[in-house]
Amino acid sequence: MAGKKIRVFYRAAGHVPLWKVMEEGGFLEKHGVEIELGSREGLREQALKELRAGELDIISGNHHNLYAPRALKGEPFVHIAQTNNLWKENWLVARAGIRGVEDLKGRRVAMDDFHSHTGLNVWRYLQIHGLEEGRDVELVNGERKGLDRVRKVMSGEYDATFVRAVEQFRARKLGANVIEVSSMPMIEGVTITTTTTYVNRHQDEVRRLLLALVDAIHFFKTRREDTLNIFEKSCRDVLKFQSGEEMDIFYENQEKSLERKPYPTAGAIENIFALAVRENPAIRDFNPLVLWNLHYVREIDDSGYIDRLYA
């Protein structure tokens, strides 16, 4: 492949395993593409600034905060593939007497940051279940780490919080009351985010990268032990697994939600856009599909390539 490496920066550590499967599984090499993988965890605005300026090529993530600059300023941000369409913080850690979401009315629910994707997810989930912030439930900014919020639920400072798969496992070991609740459609995980400027100038690289992505998803979903070996080699430290059991739990949760064909779902787009509107009501009438260019995924899909992988 002619040209420079693709500079890819992830917005959350949970994205790293799929990128490492792409790399360690040989799929980047197979399709003649190289990446430079780096982190922009907790650096939303910096990531946008660098993407806007062409200082990086792909962001893995930035899910809800691009609709406003696209709608209000016409900035050329675009999502070109989506690997996960389910909210995965669907374990409720609650005080005694709370048996499900319906019991949260009149309660204090903690999240990490109201303006973050994870915090807004809680707001949206409760709204879908008929619990409006300020009227039916009090949402409070809590600690960033799920287990820190769990401890405060257990001490009585909060009534409940939501955590992810590995955190719920740790919470159970502390003796917390943990309830698995239904999920909701949501844009999460590895979203291939870039600009129309980059796509137009690097169509060959985009096609090659997405082929490597669908190969990596197939490997992840069908070769458990090989995937776990890649986790052990490349991801254990960044994800801070404390045991092999935690790594297994993470794998199982991720594998179930990975899309064989990396399209977003209508429900996931609806819910992510609701978060964007919550942050900036001026974009309410914007069509969220403007931010999505699925031409290259569709091209791969129509070729039969993905279907043949699973035949």
Q: Is residue 226, in this structure, part of any structural domain at all?
A: yes
Same domain, 64 and 205: yes
Same domain, 31 and 175: no
Same domain, 147 and 199: no
Q: Which two tokens stand for residue 309?
A: 């992988």
- What CA–CA distance (Å, rounded) separates 144 from 153? 14
Q: Is residue 194, in this structure, part of any structural domain at all?
A: yes
- What CA–CA distance (Å, rounded) separates 58 from 8? 5
Q: Which of 135, 156, 182 is the last residue of a domain?
A: 182
Going residue by residue through the chain (311 aa), what tens digit of pLDDT does each one get?
444 689 998 888 899 999 999 999 999 999 999 999 988 877 777 888 888 888 999 999 889 999 999 999 999 999 999 999 999 999 999 999 999 999 999 999 999 888 899 999 999 999 999 999 999 999 999 998 999 999 999 999 999 999 999 999 999 999 999 999 999 999 999 999 999 999 999 999 999 999 999 999 999 999 999 999 999 999 888 899 999 999 999 999 999 999 999 999 999 999 999 999 999 999 999 999 999 999 999 999 999 999 999 99
- What CA–CA distance (Å, rounded) separates 221 from 233? 18
Same domain, 106 and 211: no
How many CB atoms neighbour CB 298 within 10 A?
12
Q: Is residue 157, in this structure, part of any structural domain at all?
A: yes
- What CA–CA distance (Å, rounded) separates 139 from 130? 14
Same domain, 163 and 192: no
Structural domain tally of the chain? 2
Same domain, 56 and 200: yes
DSSP H helices, the chain, are 16-24, 27-30, 44-53, 67-73, 117-128, 146-155, 165-174, 196-201, 203-222, 224-234, 236-239, 244-257, 266-279, 295-302, 305-310
Same domain, 147 and 74: no
DSSP H helices, 31-164, are 44-53, 67-73, 117-128, 146-155
pLDDT at 113: 85
159: containing domain: 91-182
Q: Which of 151, 167, 182 is the last residue of a domain?
A: 182
Q: Is residue 174, in this structure, part of any structural domain at all?
A: yes
Give the CATH number of the domain where residue 246 resides: 3.40.190.10
Q: Is residue 77, in this structure, part of any structural domain at all?
A: yes
- What CA–CA distance (Å, rounded) separates 235 from 12? 13
Predicted model pTM:
0.94
- What CA–CA distance (Å, rounded) separates 273 from 255? 25
Q: Is residue 1, in this structure, part of any structural domain at all?
A: no
Q: Which of 182, 216, 243 is the last residue of a domain?
A: 182
Same domain, 208 and 151: no
Same domain, 281 and 195: yes
Q: Is residue 248, in this structure, part of any structural domain at all?
A: yes
Q: Is residue 163, in this structure, part of any structural domain at all?
A: yes
Same domain, 161 and 104: yes
pLDDT at 47: 81
- What CA–CA distance (Å, rounded) separates 55 from 70? 19
Same domain, 285 and 154: no
Same domain, 32 and 102: no
Reference 303, options 264, 266, 261; nearest CA is 261
